[in-house]
Amino acid sequence: MHRRSRRRRSHHRTLPERGWIQFLLLRVLHERPMHGYQLIESMETRGYVQSGRFETGSVYTILNRMEKRGLLSSVKSTGETRRIRRIYSLTEVGEEALKRGLEGVIQRKTIMDELTEYYHQQFGAGSIPEKEEKR
């Protein structure tokens, strides 16, 4: 018999706690409109995700969901290769979600800074101990 999770999933999505990848996509698209492959390359170059982390189809699924939620809009465009591509850009709703997400990051950074200061006060000003190597 399978047990159902007691944890209820909220339909209200906040950034960045849920939808971290969506939040990062909003961040990149805030600079300029891009197609999916450009987004993947940009996120990998910035170190937001590990190289090869995404399957192209997964990213397009995420982008389509974001578009349905009103965070993005897209237009079809023919590039140099004459291949039709969908170019994604932020909507006002998407920009507001990015702003709220960034405010949350700033709030969490403030908490992390306080915890770091507490660590140094309580356990010494030295460097944070390195993780032990796995053998």
Domain regions of the chain by residue span: 20-123
Give the C-alpha separation, 36 to 29, whole Å. Answer: 10
Entry pTM: 0.72
Question: What's the CATH architecture for 20-123?
Answer: Orthogonal Bundle (1.10)
Give the C-alpha separation, 38 to 112, whole Å. Answer: 32
First to last CA, the chain: 38
Please report, as a single letter, which amino acid is at residue 55. E
For 22-60, the pLDDT digits (tens) are 999 999 999 999 999 899 999 989 988 878 777 778 888
Lowest mean pLDDT among 44-53, 59-68, 110-119, 121-130: 121-130
Residue owning tokens 């995700």? 49
Lowest mean pLDDT among 1-10, 26-35, 46-55, 75-84: 1-10
